[in-house]
Amino acid sequence: MDISTQKTDQAPPPTAPPTTTEQKRAARGATRPGDRIFLGLSRGSGILLLAIMAAIAGFLAYRASLAISKDDANFLTAFEWNTGVIPPKFGIAVLAFGTVVSSVIAMVLAVPIAVAIALFLTHYAPRRLRSPISYVIDLLAAVPSIVYGLWGALILVPQMDGLFGWLDEYLGWTGIFSWDQGAPRSMLTVGILLAIMILPIITNVSREVFRQVPQMHEEAALALGATRWEVVRMSVLPFGRSGVISASMLGLGRALGETMAVATVLSPDFDIHASLLNPGGGTFAQNIASKFNEASEFGRDALIASGLVLFVITLLVNGAARAIIARRKEYSGANA
Amino acid sequence: MSHAVVNDKRPSTLRGASLPKWSPWAIAAGSIALAVVIGLAGGLDSRAQWGLIAGLLFLLGTYGIAARVEGRRQAKDRIATALVWVAFLIAIVPLASLIWATVQRGTKVLDVYFLTHSMGVVADSEAGGGIYHAIIGSLEQVGLATLIGAPIGILTAIYLVEYGRGNLARAVTFFVDVMTGIPSIVAGLFILSLMLMFDMQPFGFAGSLALAILMMPVVVRSTEEMLKLVPNELREASLALGIPKWRTILKVVVPTSIGGIITGVMLSVARIAGETAPVLLLVFGNPFINTNPFEGAQASLPLYIYQQYSQSAGSTAAYDRAWAASLTLIAFVMILNMVARGIARWKAPKTGR
């Protein structure tokens, strides 16, 4: 009897579908009122989250369209932000450039150092130091961005004079590093500050990845006489590559959307400068924060339009990072 | 020729020549000393440059010495070790400086008077005043945000772990992940677009809504991790007794993981407590005490720091207040973090790692 039903289950018999639906109904347990209410509540919250995401995109797009339709300049390429004049002229070219440049500087500085610190914590640090250092890095990830901003503006900026003079003297001929002796409230300073801010998150995720390298891989390399660096290069880094990439993109997402640290440090204008050392430029988030107070309702719509662009960019970056992480489910960086 | 000479001197064992254990420290000390000399001689005034020069000398010195004594592969290994240490130290310097500056400058005006008075009658450029109004604003906005964000986040996590199958759950998981990356200013702009539509003036609760949006995905992720740690045997045992699923979840699953859930909520509270951008857009700031979050502009701690910095035209008194408020904010966030981690350790499910 048992055997025969099993056999009929394996073949597709006409009797199988009803049993599975019955099982499904029993498993769901949605027959009691309490269960139905609770399932409704929890599913409702999930749907609410999706609705919020959709609403963010929808409302931003609606207000942005109000602003862009009245824009007399090209929204994507104009080098000015005059929302008060008639007809209004504004464009995001400078903001897009500044956002990309400051984030790229931050990534170039932060990723190698963060990977090195992650390696330090998993493979190099004395065992006693590992957990206190990890703890400190966790806490640093929790320092509010406005405090980083205040520190950057009042402590870091005065420290940059020496470095800028030196860069100007030896690398000024490239144009990228020329400096007119202005206050060092420039893209490079912003990039350095952003690098400091995103260091903890990249370190945390990379550390989790490096920790999951199979012990066997490392021991095999050691048994072949590899030095510690060769172990890291041959077994740890290849294993952790995708994790490091997604950690970097999470950090990039933070750097792109950072507001207060940029708003406090940068002295903005609406032009693209070749030099990273001279003040000027701006980022999406910084522009919103500093223009908001004086903006009319139309000006706010224009700022919302620039925010929509930022939203789309971070959505793409984060989506890509998550897609890479999803391929290796074990180390989801979402908690970091 | 010299190579042969070195070979002759080496004792004939299978071990290659190696540097003594203290050599990295010696090289480090030597390069720091050299950097100080160069810094003094070259008249470089930034300490950051001295540090960079010392780091560079340390790397070069390590490679040079190790390559001569131990050979190429060992030298590479040593330079990797040196690089990792230098990277760690480079990262520690700004972070230590941040903490040091905040504590040193923040304690100047931080006292009971500062914590219990507002800026109502004090101009931004004068000394005096305090952060009482900002603390009230912060507590109310963050508290309301938590009341909205935490239940929705926890319920969503329960849905994903206990019920979630199929496309809806997959979509929710993906968008929760993406939502963690939304810049805080975008969340602020979203609520702002709603306010523009209904022609509303800034008020505290609007800020709470934006903060709740930022909080939800963090709560979902941490609660999800915690619920997954609850062993299936517990669920099965309860269901086998004929207990409905919703009671199983409320009486067995959630109590087992309550420590972790509370930890996650507290960490997310710590995170939104430091958010400035949405508060700047939606709550606007107010030097007077306003205890009603549903009407009129309010202050908040992060916003107070920003406004003291940016609207005071470089007055020292305002900077001192900004540092003191930073110290208060950091202390609040750190205490939340530490208590949260303490609860996590204390209430960890016994099956956990």
CB-nearest to B163 from A43, A50, A56 is A43
CA distance A197 to chain B (A): 9
Q: In a mutagenesis test of the A interface, which of B92, B276, B332 is the best target, namely the one with the most A β-carbons within 10 Å?
A: B276
Taking chain B (353 residues) in runs of 10, the rounded mean pLDDT of each run is 49 67 84 84 72 84 83 84 87 88 91 89 83 94 96 95 88 88 92 90 93 94 90 92 92 90 90 92 89 91 92 84 94 89 74 46
Q: pLDDT-based confidence at A12, cuts 50/70/90?
A: very low
Indicate whether A149 pLDDT > 90. yes
Cβ <8 Å between B326 and A113:
no
| A85 touches B: beta carbon within 8 Å | no
**Residue A61 placed within a domain:** no
**Residue B336 placed within a domain:** yes
Indicate whether A4 pLDDT > 50. no
Question: Could you count the other beta carbons within 10 Å of the beta carbon of residue A31?
Answer: 10
**Residue A73 placed within a domain:** no
Domain holding A237, by residue range, is 81-335
Q: pLDDT-based confidence at A51, cuts 50/70/90?
A: very high
Indicate whether A29 pLDDT > 80. no
**Residue B117 placed within a domain:** no
**Residue B43 placed within a domain:** yes
Q: How many domains does chain A have?
A: 1
Per-residue confidence (pLDDT) for residue A6, from 0 to 100: 44
Q: What angle do CA A177, A109, B47 make, to 5 degrees?
A: 70
Cβ <8 Å between A49 and B220:
yes
**Residue B353 placed within a domain:** no
d(CA B160, CA B172): 8
- Looking at chain B, list the stretches that DSSP marks H as alpha helix, in order from N- to C-terminal side: 2-9, 23-42, 47-69, 72-106, 112-116, 132-158, 166-179, 184-197, 204-229, 232-240, 245-248, 254-256, 258-273, 277-282, 301-310, 316-346
- Report the range of poorest mean pLDDT among A69-78, A148-157, A183-192: A69-78
The radius of gyration of chain B's CA atoms, rounded to the nearest angstrom, is 28
Per-residue confidence (pLDDT) for residue A118, from 0 to 100: 92
CA distance A128 to chain B (A): 16
For chain A, how far is it from start to end, CA to CA, in angstroms?
54
**Residue A290 placed within a domain:** yes
Q: Phi first, then psi: what are they for B274, rounded to 5°?
A: -95, 0
Which residue is associated with the tokens 């979509």? B171
Q: What is the mean pLDDT of residues A14-34?
A: 57
**Residue A50 placed within a domain:** no
Per-residue confidence (pLDDT) for residue A49, from 0 to 100: 94
CA distance B330 to chain A (A): 6
CA distance A7 to chain B (A): 28
Domain holding B44, by residue range, is 16-106
* Claim to verify: residue B54 and residue B195 sit in the same structural domain: no
- Residue whose C-alpha is closest to residue A321's, from A336, A309, A308: A336
| A257 touches B: beta carbon within 8 Å | yes
d(CA A71, CA A79): 13
**Residue A283 placed within a domain:** yes
Per-residue confidence (pLDDT) for residue B2, from 0 to 100: 45
* Claim to verify: residue B147 and residue B257 sit in the same structural domain: yes
d(CA A168, CA A177): 6
Token code pair at residue B57: 């000398």
* Claim to verify: residue B102 and residue B39 sit in the same structural domain: yes
Is the bond into B94 cis (omega within 30 degrees of 0)? no
* Claim to verify: residue B164 and residue B93 sit in the same structural domain: no
Indicate whether A336 pLDDT > 50. no
Q: Is B166 left (phi over 0), alpha (psi -120 to 50) or beta?
A: left
On whether the CB atoms of residues A185 and A279 are closer than 8 A, the answer is yes
CB-nearest to B156 from A49, A155, A159 is A49
* pLDDT, averaged across chain A: 84
Q: pLDDT-based confidence at A245, cuts 50/70/90?
A: confident
| A263 touches B: beta carbon within 8 Å | yes
Q: What is the mean pLDDT of residues A110-122?
A: 93
B102 CB-near residues (< 8 Å, 6+ apart): A147, A151, B323, B326, B327, B330
Indicate whether A1 pLDDT > 70. no
What is the domain-level CATH number for residue A231?
Answer: 1.10.3720.10
**Residue B6 placed within a domain:** no
* Claim to verify: residue B136 and residue B97 sit in the same structural domain: no
Per-residue confidence (pLDDT) for residue B12, from 0 to 100: 54
Q: How many domains does chain B have?
A: 2
| A116 touches B: beta carbon within 8 Å | yes
Cβ <8 Å between B280 and A147:
no
Per-residue confidence (pLDDT) for residue B148, from 0 to 100: 95
**Residue A18 placed within a domain:** no
* Claim to verify: residue B168 and residue B219 sit in the same structural domain: yes
Looking at chain A, which residue has its C-alpha nearest residue B242? Answer: A29
d(CA B293, CA B141): 7
Q: What is the mean pLDDT of residues A217-225?
A: 90
CA distance B113 to chain A (A): 22
Indicate whether A180 pLDDT > 90. no
